[in-house]
């Protein structure tokens, strides 16, 4: 029997396509247009070719910001993924503790990014902030405004506090989906806690861990609001990531051409690194 295709269904998708065109494609084309042109003002543009891209790629400022981004993302992944797995493993699987823990885990995710930055900006102050005042009270010379290391520690702790819950919730969803038969078989075989984690829980969580790693990498690599509110990219340029440098170039210096070229390079780097993460983490499944 021959199938009948109803092409009218495409009309249901059309509003989504139009929305994506206006919210993503058209702004992207505008950025591409600015990246290959220059202007002397009065809304008059002339062709500049790939000069802005060449200037950005030969800029020490760009590579320094990129290095800070990569270091920050690697630190975040190294902290939040193991911590998220550990917390998910120790959360209750039944009873009243389940909704309580899920709500507590979801609370940091509900706070807007600029509010998170404001909270930690006050929390880390030496005079009225509980975190900064307590550290100085016990003899630790802490000042995130003047010391680059303290600024990095503050931003890292802030991000771990804000986003580890996402990893926890994803890992917990993967854990509760594992059938009890696996645990019963492991108990009969006398498997240790480490063996259960290595051969049952981690393999079954592989897909949610892939999602967690990709989401946390992309979010941490594109971080802007929190460090901008807390440190403004300082002290000096210690916490000036690519996103902050991009905004300074576009809005602070109003160099639209270089800013457009930098944003496209930024986008391609995120796309490439995310593809590498995805390919590496799914290669094992392909081999099996």
pLDDT, averaged across the chain: 87
pLDDT of 2 over the 70 cut: no
**pLDDT digits 0-9 by tens, 87-131:** 999 998 888 888 899 999 999 999 988 899 999 999 999 888 899
Confidence of residue 32 (pLDDT cuts 50, 70, 90): confident
Confidence of residue 6 (pLDDT cuts 50, 70, 90): low
Q: Tell me which of 7-11, 13-17, 25-29 is least confident.
A: 7-11
Q: Which fold has domain 61-254?
A: MetI-like fold (1.10.3720)
Secondary structure of residue 124 in the 3-state scheme: coil
**pLDDT digits 0-9 by tens, 259-275:** 999 999 998 998 888 88
Cα distances from 194 to residues 190, 191, 203, 288, in angstroms, run 12, 8, 13, 23
**pLDDT digits 0-9 by tens, 165-182:** 999 999 999 999 888 898
User: What is the mean pLDDT of the segment spanning 19-37?
Assistant: 82
pTM: 0.86
| Euclidean distance between CA atoms 163 and 84, whole angstroms | 9
Confidence of residue 1 (pLDDT cuts 50, 70, 90): low
pLDDT, greater one: 283 or 73: 73
Q: Which is nearest to 59 in space by CA: 265, 220, 236, 228?
A: 265
pLDDT, greater one: 41 or 234: 234
| Euclidean distance between CA atoms 249 and 166, whole angstroms | 32
Q: Which is nearest to 196 in space by CA: 206, 185, 209, 207?
A: 185
Secondary structure of residue 38 in the 3-state scheme: strand
User: What is the mean pLDDT of the segment spanning 67-88?
Assistant: 95
Domain locations in the chain as residue ranges: 61-254
The fraction of the chain above a pLDDT of 90, given in percent, is 42
- Joined together, the tokens standing for residue 12 give 């249901």
| Cα-only R_g, the chain | 24
User: What is the mean pLDDT of the segment spanning 190-200?
Assistant: 88
pLDDT of 4 over the 70 cut: no
Query: CB–CB of 83/167 below 8 Å?
Result: yes
**The Cα angle at residue 170 between residues 101 and 23, in degrees rounded to 5:** 115
Position 5 scores a pLDDT of 66
């Amino acid at each position: 029997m021959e199938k009948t295709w109803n092409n009218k269904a495409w009309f249901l998708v059309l509003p989504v396509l139009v929305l994506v065109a206006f919210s993503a494609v058209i702004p992207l084309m505008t950025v591409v247009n600015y990246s290959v042109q220059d202007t002397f003002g009065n809304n008059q543009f002339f062709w500049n070719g790939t000069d802005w891209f060449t200037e950005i790629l030969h800029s020490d400022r760009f590579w320094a910001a990129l290095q800070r981004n990569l270091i920050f993302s690697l630190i975040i992944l190294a902290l939040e993924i193991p911590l998220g797995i550990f917390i998910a493993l120790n959360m209750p699987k039944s009873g009243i503790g389940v909704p309580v823990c899920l709500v507590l885990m979801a609370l940091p995710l509900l706070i807007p990014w600029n509010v998170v930055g404001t909270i930690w900006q006050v929390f880390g102050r030496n005079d009225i902030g509980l975190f900064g005042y307590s550290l100085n009270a016990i003899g630790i010379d802490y000042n995130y405004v003047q010391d680059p290391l303290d600024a990095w520690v503050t931003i890292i702790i802030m991000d771990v506090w804000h986003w580890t819950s996402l990893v926890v919730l994803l890992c917990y969803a993967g854990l509760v989906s594992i059938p009890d038969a696996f645990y019963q078989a492991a108990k009969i075989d006398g498997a240790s806690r480490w063996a259960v984690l290595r051969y049952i829980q981690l393999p079954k969580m592989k897909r949610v861990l892939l999602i967690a790693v990709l989401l946390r990498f992309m979010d941490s690599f594109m971080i802007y609001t929190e460090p901008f509110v807390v440190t403004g990219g300082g002290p000096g340029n210690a916490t000036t990531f690519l996103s902050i440098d991009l905004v300074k170039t576009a809005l602070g210096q109003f160099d639209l051409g270089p800013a457009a070229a930098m944003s496209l390079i930024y986008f391609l780097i995120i796309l490439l690194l995310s593809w590498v993460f995805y390919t590496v983490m799914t290669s094992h499944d392909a081999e099996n």
